[in-house]
Amino acid sequence: MIEAHQLTKRYGEKTAVDRLDFTVRPGTVTGFLGPNGAGKSTTMRMIVGLDAPSSGSVTVNGRRYAEHAAPLQEVGALLEAKSIHPGRSAFDHLMAQAYTHGIPRRRVEEVIEMTGLQAVAKKRAGAFSLGMGQRLGIAAALLGDPSTVMLDEPVNGLDPEGVLWIRNLLSGLAAEGRTVFVSSHLMSEIALVAEHLIIVGRGRLLADTTVKDLVSQAGGDTVKVVSADPARLREVLAGPGVDISGRAGSEELEVTGMPARAIGTAAGKAGITLFELTPRTVSLEEAFMELTQDAVEYHGSFATAGSAA
């Protein structure tokens, strides 16, 4: 369990993390999302004590990271900055860490197997591909068999097989009852693995929600209905929580707050012929963009042909 209370980090004039309050719970994968520069890495660094909060606090399993007697057993982290000696083999790198934390050799062998590094474990880590490097970073994060696992942009630059592997690994860790906290600036990646979402923009909390709720809040439960008698259909469907819109003279209605199946049934009972009944699905990417559009630090811009002088 990770708990942040009014967590704040300032770098001079810049407030990278601004009074964040959130809880990351065990047994599920929580995605940590936000545009570039939103403060995700800074937050994660504070969770593992690599950066000190300017104010507020963050704890793992009820204590600040530095207060744990055996922190590697509490939280395993893969952060963006890697500190792997390029001349050392993956096995030696993990053994060195295990040795300094009183972790047995057996556990090193276990994490090598879990991360599929058996064939390359004795090779120089400096010669590793990006994917292998990520696997090694994850192996190191899992070394202490931690109840909380935190990964910063774990799928960055991975091939589809690597992405699928990470997805299965994270779901498996959550199913074992661990707290799993994963950052990304890509909604599409997180949507496949996370159930819960913490979304930040410019250091502020924008949403603490579920993937399901984010979609429905963004209008994911709208249904397009084309019928022979839209005026009567409006009357038939009207009710509490149901919102109906449509242009005068058009056969098309947009219905929010009623599933397609219920609309079809009601129309059928009233004898109204339907020509089309289409649930509109808002992609998570769209929902995310809508939520974070004001919080993006650097908007891209492009000149249209007409604007060139």
Ligand X SMILES: Nc1ncnc2c1ncn2[C@@H]1O[C@H](COP(=O)(O)OP(=O)(O)OP(=O)(O)O)[C@@H](O)[C@H]1O
Instruction: Catalog residues that contact ligand X under the rule CB under 6 A.
Output: 11, 14, 16, 34, 36-42, 185
List the helix and strand counts (H, then E) for the chain.
11, 13
Complex with ligand X: residue 58 or 98, whichever CB lies closer: 58
Shortest distance, position 240 Cβ to ligand X, whole Å = 41
Complex with ligand X: residue 37 or 76, whichever CB lies closer: 37
Complex with ligand X: residue 39 or 246, whichever CB lies closer: 39
Spatial distance between the Cα atoms of 259 and 257, rounded to a whole number of angstroms = 7
Give the CA-trace dihedral at 123, 124, 128, 131, to 10 degrees. Answer: 70
8-state DSSP, 298: S
Shortest distance, position 173 Cβ to ligand X, whole Å = 22
Spatial distance between the Cα atoms of 290 and 292, rounded to a whole number of angstroms = 6
8-state DSSP, 229: -
Shortest distance, position 38 Cβ to ligand X, whole Å = 4
3-state secondary structure of 5: strand
Single-letter amino acid code for the residue at 264: G
Shortest distance, position 85 Cβ to ligand X, whole Å = 24
Shortest distance, position 295 Cβ to ligand X, whole Å = 10
Complex with ligand X: residue 14 or 269, whichever CB lies closer: 14
Show the CA angle centred on residue 112, arms to residues 107 and 116, nearest 5°: 150
Complex with ligand X: residue 54 or 256, whichever CB lies closer: 54
Single-letter amino acid code for the residue at 3: E
Complex with ligand X: residue 148 or 183, whichever CB lies closer: 183
Spatial distance between the Cα atoms of 143 and 176, rounded to a whole number of angstroms = 16
Percent of residues in the chain assigned helix, strand, coil, to nearest 5: 40, 25, 35
Complex with ligand X: residue 147 or 184, whichever CB lies closer: 184
Shortest distance, position 156 Cβ to ligand X, whole Å = 9
Shortest distance, position 212 Cβ to ligand X, whole Å = 24
Cβ atoms of 30 and 182 within 8 Å: the answer is: yes
Listed residue (272, 273, 234) closest to 253, CA to CA: 234
